[in-house]
Amino acid sequence: MKKFILTAAAIAFGLSMSVAGSAAAADAKTLAEIHGKNWPEATGWAKKDTCMGCHGSYADLAKATAKLEPNPHFSHLGDVNCQECHKGDKAEPELMCNSCHNFTLREKTPAKK
Ligand code: HEC
Ligand code: HEC
Ligand code: HEC
């Protein structure tokens, strides 16, 4: 009997873990949700200036993601519209570069000390 209770508890624990797991996934907020009324509506290249007003220039952003290869904020495309990658209805950016390339974004191997 004792064994049964333990098993039931283990199953209940397992269930609550998986429920918590899926709740966490559902909690990943889209950019539009994070920003609320600060998310510039619709599309258009002009919108990137609004984004930069809060997040800084491409040069600043390139510093923030300098560890990534390729750096999504520094390329031959110059100052791309942010929403090419940062979609309002998504939590994670899409690498629009891959409409032409086949990059896997990775962290640079740290330089040896
Ligand atoms: C009024 C100011 C403001 C504007 C305009 C704005 N943002 Fe933000 N953004 C924020 C704030 C505040 C956060 C939350 C920062 C945090 O929680 O670390 C944020 C978070 C983000 C994040 C998530 C950063 C992270 O650490 O995961 C991204 C990506 C982002 N914004 C992109 C954009 C883009 C693209 C635009 C334009 C379409 C934009 N933002 C416009 C203020 C702004
Ligand atoms: C080519 C795709 C692309 C474009 C264009 C782009 N981003 Fe990003 N951005 C990314 C990726 C990829 C990340 C890294 C997410 C991660 O760390 O997993 C990122 C990260 C960020 C972050 C978080 C930086 C941090 O401190 O970690 C902010 C804020 C942000 N972008 C804002 C912007 C803004 C504002 C613009 C336009 C001026 C912009 N991005 C344009 C792909 C892009
Ligand atoms: C419209 C197509 C297109 C898009 C979108 C594009 N590229 Fe490129 N890219 C090219 C072409 C064409 C070359 C030159 C290819 C060559 O010389 O091998 C190139 C070359 C490069 C190179 C140097 C060659 C290499 O493969 O190492 C890098 C780095 C690069 N692109 C990064 C990016 C990044 C980062 C983005 C997204 C912000 C991006 N590209 C978006 C077409 C594109």
User: Per-residue pLDDT for the chain (113 aa), expressed as one digit of tens each?
Assistant: 555 444 444 444 444 344 444 444 567 899 999 999 888 875 566 789 999 999 999 999 999 999 999 999 999 999 999 999 999 999 999 999 999 999 999 998 776 66
Q: Quote the pLDDT of residue 44.
A: 60
Ligand 1 close to Cβ of residue 5 (< 6 A):
no
**Are 9 and 17 contacting, i.e. CB atoms less than 8 angstroms apart?**
no
Q: Quote the pLDDT of residue 28.
A: 87
Distant-in-sequence, close-in-space partners of 37: CB < 8 Å, separation ≥ 6:
none
| Ligand 2, residues at Cβ distance < 6 Å | 48, 51-52, 55, 58, 61, 64-65, 72-73, 80, 82, 84-86, 93, 95-97, 105
Ligand nearest to the CA of 56: 2
**Are 48 and 81 contacting, i.e. CB atoms less than 8 angstroms apart?**
yes
Q: Quote the pLDDT of residue 111.
A: 66
Cα 71 from Cα 66, distance rounded (Å): 6
Distance 21 CA to ligand 2 centre (A): 26
Q: Quote the pLDDT of residue 26.
A: 60
Ligand nearest to the CA of 55: 2
